[in-house]
């Protein structure tokens, strides 16, 4: 073991305290929530928000990356008599791309023998849910999604258009079980990822976001990738996909998973391709299968599997403007075409299910034929693949595997809703997980925004998780700032979707921030925002003095002109004069042009 221990960003966000709520069915669980304190003059309780950031934002926890996070879930009830521990697969040189010793990422210092389901036993959340078992993970999710809103159950009027979503006022563990049992939600939680703080992805839950990280053949570093994961969840990423494609894939992934409180997703095909030296046509089912087991033993929580790219679909892409833009999709298309055979992923899908079932790896059925341009949106290739994904969903569900479905991509606004409607109909309401979509192709450098527009809309229409896009999309690899901008943009999209769906807890934060704005509680306005650092920095550019954060005006209008201040005066005057009663006279277009009374005009 090398002495290198990467440092990661730790410490709470401003004015924030991490609180933990215990379970009722499972007292051993501790569900994290973030409470943002507001100024005493507000006379309001702290605002409770969802917290995906893990122990890194808890000042009482000392972070040691080389030890990994506590393996809490192994202390929870649920898997007794269903699993066995065994000697896992041995790491092979090709797992790390035959990297030389000099360039090798250090092996994670601790090894854990993996678990798998006993023969004939099911361990997936779906299997347990179907058996009527409320797992600790389900109770964890229920508490997490409620955001402390039990307090105000009766006070909140529902305001939104949820389309066909049915979001309850209050979430119970039993309701979570029912959502999982129906396939409408998944809890990605590999039994070999006990460090996980469980979360749910489903159209009746808060909309989630995913951030992608990963080294590539061009740049790479383990320390960077672990920090990118920690950084992404600090700002709100609910899951993280490790899309590494270079060498050291196995070792980097181990560091990431052992330190990840969120579900980790991968595209196993990428690593399989590395094992055959990047030559798509040399891929075999055996190499792929071995890679699935390798990653399942490490604890990957969901696999993107491009089993919907079938030989018969490929001709549908030939006249596209941008062909096949999914990496996985293009690799499989090349393989199919070269061998002129049906995809081995499609042919072996049932065996893939058996592997996923043994570890509870969720499926993220990949949209290998997603459109890469406005011109190709909602075309025959895309929807032919979606039909296949619907077929595969049934196969996976029959084997108790949890499933979500990936979606586009590049779609103009008027074609977004069709994607959701078709996906729900075709895939039996399995959670939809989309990349954006980008609503125009003409703004490289701003594709977090072009896609944030589509993401907000598709989230509103029923997409359960939104895969972020950074400003570097189509142009380069995201750095730390890009990851943050991508995450914040997608938190905006997800939250806007929750608001529009009328999620009962969503508006609490908007209202608290708006009250802070109206009352010139600048510090509260910063602290309640998605990115307090940036809000504060922008404010201070124009009005840097500390006193200005107490000022009852801002730089836009200056002290005399502030509309908020004037509005306060109006409120005060109105209340003093008994305005509401007085104004009755003027409503309904009655006596509008009354003379001002002399004593008022002379004021």
Q: Which of the residues 69 through 98 are near a second copy (CB under 8 A)?
A: none
381 part of the interface to a second copy, by CB under 8 A: no
Cβ proximity to a second copy: between 74 and 552 the closer is 552
Among 338, 351, 354, 480, which residue sits at the site for a second copy (rule: CB under 8 A)? 338
Report which of 68, 65, 61 is spatially closest to residue 8, judged by C-alpha positions. Answer: 65
Regarding 14 and contact with a second copy (CB under 8 A), the answer is no
Kind and range of the H or E run holding 412: none
Closer by beta carbon to a second copy, 109 or else 323: 323
Please indicate if the annotation marks 164 as binding a ligand: no
We find the least distance from the C-beta atom of residue 155 to a second copy, in angstroms, to be 14
Closest distance of CB 158 from a second copy, Å: 11
Is the omega angle on the peptide bond into residue 259 within 30 degrees of 0, that is, cis? Answer: no
Which residues from 488-547 bind a second copy, rule CB under 8 A? 488-489, 491-493, 495-497, 499-502, 507, 509-511, 513-515, 517-518, 525-526, 528-531, 534-535, 537-543
234 binds a second copy (CB under 8 A): no
On the CB side of 365, CA atoms within 13 Å amount to 31
Among 443, 523, 549, 551, which residue sits at the site for a second copy (rule: CB under 8 A)? 443
Query: Has 306 been labeled as part of a binding site?
Result: yes
519 annotated binding-site participant: no
* Listed residue (482, 172, 441, 476) closest to 468, CA to CA: 482
126 is in an annotated binding site: no
The Cα 193–Cα 296 span in angstroms is 9
Contact 113, 85 (CB under 8 A): yes
> How far out from the chain centre does Cα 237 lie?
5
Question: In the complex with a second copy, which residue's Cβ is closer, 24 or 216?
Answer: 216
Q: How far is the CB of 513 from a second copy (least distance, A)?
A: 5
DSSP strands (E only) in 111-207: 115-117, 185-186, 201-202
Please report how the helices 285-298 and 349-359 are oriented relative to each other, as an axis angle in degrees rounded to 10. Answer: 10
The residues with which 433 forms a beta bridge, in sequence order, are 406, 465
- Give the nearer residue to a second copy in terms of CB position, either 133 or 553: 553
Q: Taking contact as CB under 8 A, which single stretch among the options 7-15, 110-118, 119-127, 441-449 is the one that binds a second copy?
A: 441-449
Q: How far is the CB of 205 from a second copy (least distance, A)?
A: 18
Please say whether the beta carbons of 33 and 144 come within 8 A: yes
User: What's the CA gap between 66 and 90, in Å, rounded?
Assistant: 21
State the pairing for strand pair 465-467/208-213: parallel
Say if residue 557 carries a ligand binding annotation: yes
Q: Quick one: residue 595, left, alpha or beta (phi over 0 = left, psi -120 to 50 = alpha)?
A: beta
Region binding a second copy by CB under 8 A among candidate stretches 50-58, 147-155, 186-194, 576-584: 576-584
Q: Consult the annotation and say whether 270 binds a ligand.
A: yes
Does residue 11 bind a second copy (CB under 8 A)? no
**Is 367 known as a binding-site position?**
yes
Q: Are strands 239-242 and 208-213 parallel, antiparallel or unpaired?
A: parallel
Site for a second copy in 244-263 (CB under 8 A): 245-246
Q: Is 564 annotated as a binding residue?
A: no
Q: Which is nearer to a second copy, 80 or 599 (CB)?
A: 599
Tell me how many residues contact a second copy (CB under 8 A).
139
Compute how many other C-beta atoms are within 10 angstroms of the C-beta atom of residue 248: 22
**Residue 516 to residue 397: CA distance in whole angstroms:** 47
Q: State yes or no: 326 annotated in a binding site.
A: yes
Give the interface segment with a second copy, choosing from 25-33, 247-255, 289-297, 595-603 (CB under 8 A): 595-603
Find out whether 467 is annotated in a ligand binding site.
Answer: no
For residue 2, say whether it is annotated as part of any ligand binding site: no
Residue 260 host element (H or E): none
Minimal distance, residue 246 CB to a second copy, in Å: 8
Of 73-81, 86-94, 203-211, 440-448, the segment contacting a second copy by CB under 8 A is 440-448
Q: Which is nearer to a second copy, 404 or 493 (CB)?
A: 493
* Residue 554 assigned to a binding site: yes
* Smallest distance from a second copy to CB 353, Å: 19
Count how many residues are written for the chain.
603
Q: How far is the CB of 4 from a second copy (least distance, A)?
A: 24
Query: Helical H runs in 447-562?
Result: 447-461, 480-501, 507-518, 522-527, 532-542, 558-561
Q: Give the Å distances, CA to CA, from 117 to 127, 200, 251, 363.
A: 12, 22, 25, 17
Q: At how many degrees (to 10) do helices 173-181 and 136-146 cross?
A: 110
What separation, in Å, do the N-terminal and C-terminal C-alpha atoms of the chain show? 82
Contacts of 212 (CB under 8 A, 6+ apart): 240, 241, 243, 467, 468
For a second copy, which residue of 35, 221, 282, 373 counts as binding (CB under 8 A)?
Answer: 373
Q: How far apart are CA 123 and CA 125, in angstroms?
A: 7
Assess contact for 137 and 474: CB atoms under 8 A: no
Subset of residues 37 to 76 that bind a second copy, contact rule: CB under 8 A: none
Contacts to a second copy from residues 195-224, by CB under 8 A? 216-219
Q: Is 339 annotated as a binding residue?
A: no
Nearest to 94 by CA among 293, 328, 277, 292: 277
- Please identify, among the stretches 56-64, 90-98, 201-209, 316-324, the one whose residues bind a second copy according to the rule CB under 8 A: 316-324
403 contacts 397 by C-beta, under 8 angstroms:
yes
539 appears as a binding residue in the annotation: no
Which residue of 16, 124, 450, 463 would you call a contact of a second copy, by CB under 8 A? 450
According to the binding rule CB under 8 A, does residue 550 interact with a second copy? no
Q: Known binding site: residues? A: 212, 241, 270, 306, 326-328, 367-370, 406, 410, 433, 474, 554, 557, 562
Q: Known binding site for substrate: residues? A: 212, 241, 270, 306, 326-328, 367-370, 406, 433
Q: Known binding site for Zn(2+): residues? A: 410, 474
């Amino acid at each position: 073991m090398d002495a290198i221990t990467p440092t990661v960003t730790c410490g709470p966000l401003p004015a924030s305290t991490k609180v933990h709520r215990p379970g009722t069915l499972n007292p051993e669980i501790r569900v994290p929530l973030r409470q943002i304190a507001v100024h005493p003059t507000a006379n309001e309780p702290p605002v409770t928000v969802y917290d995906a950031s893990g122990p890194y934002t808890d000042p009482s926890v000392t972070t040691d990356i080389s030890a990994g996070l506590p393996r809490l879930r192994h202390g929870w009830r649920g898997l007794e008599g269903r699993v066995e521990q065994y000697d896992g697969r041995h790491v092979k040189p090709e797992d790390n791309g035959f990297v030389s010793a000099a360039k090798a990422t250090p092996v994670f210092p601790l090894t854990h023998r993996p678990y798998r389901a006993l023969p004939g036993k099911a361990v997936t959340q779906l299997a347990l849910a179907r058996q009527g078992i409320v797992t600790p993970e389900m109770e964890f999710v229920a508490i997490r999604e409620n955001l402390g809103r039990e307090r105000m159950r009766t006070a909140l009027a529902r305001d939104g258009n949820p389309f066909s979503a049915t979001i309850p006022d209050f979430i119970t563990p039993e309701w979570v079980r029912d959502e999982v049992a129906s396939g409408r939600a998944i809890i990605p939680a590999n039994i070999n990822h006990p460090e996980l703080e469980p979360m749910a992805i489903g159209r009746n839950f808060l909309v989630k976001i995913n951030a992608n990280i990963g080294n590539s053949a061009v740049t790479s570093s383990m320390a960077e990738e672990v920090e990118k994961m920690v950084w992404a969840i600090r700002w709100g990423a609910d899951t993280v996909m490790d899309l590494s494609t270079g060498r050291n894939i196995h070792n980097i992934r181990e560091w990431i998973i052992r330190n990840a409180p969120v579900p980790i997703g991968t595209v196993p095909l990428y690593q399989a391709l590395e094992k055959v030296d990047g030559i798509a046509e040399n891929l075999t089912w055996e190499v792929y299968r071995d890679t699935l087991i390798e990653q399942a033993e490490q604890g990957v929580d969901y696999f993107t599997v491009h089993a919907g790219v079938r030989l018969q679909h490929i001709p549908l892409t030939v006249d596209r403007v941008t062909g096949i833009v999914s990496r996985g999709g293009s690799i499989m298309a090349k393989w199919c075409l070269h061998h002129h055979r049906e995809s081995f992923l499609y042919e072996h899908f049932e065996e893939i299910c058996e592997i996923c079932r043994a570890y509870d790896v969720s499926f993220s059925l990949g949209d290998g034929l997603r459109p890469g341009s406005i011109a190709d949106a909602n075309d025959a290739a895309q929807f032919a693949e979606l039909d296949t994904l619907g077929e595969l969903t049934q196969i996976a569900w029959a084997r108790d595997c949890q499933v979500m479905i990936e979606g586009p991509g590049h779609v103009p606004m008027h074609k977004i809703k069709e994607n959701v409607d078709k996906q729900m109909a075709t895939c039996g309401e399995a959670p939809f997980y989309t990349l954006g979509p980008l609503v125009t192709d003409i703004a490289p450098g701003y594709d977090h925004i072009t896609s944030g527009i589509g993401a907000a809309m598709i989230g509103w229409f029923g997409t359960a998780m939104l895969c972020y896009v950074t400003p570097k999309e189509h142009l380069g690899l995201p750095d730390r700032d890009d990851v943050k901008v991508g995450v914040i943009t997608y938190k905006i999209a997800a939250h806007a979707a929750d608001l529009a769906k009328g999620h009962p807890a969503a508006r609490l934060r908007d209202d608290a921030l708006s009250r802070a704005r109206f009352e010139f509680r600048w510090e509260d306005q910063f602290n309640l925002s998605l990115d307090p650092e940036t809000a504060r920095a922008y404010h201070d550019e124009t009005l840097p003095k500390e006193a200005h954060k107490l000022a009852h005006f801002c730089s836009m209008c200056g002290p005399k002109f502030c509309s908020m201040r004037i509005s306060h005066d109006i409120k005060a005057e109105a209340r003093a004069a008994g305005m509401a009663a007085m104004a009755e006279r003027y409503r309904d277009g009655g006596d509008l042009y009354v003379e001002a009374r002399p004593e008022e005009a002379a004021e």
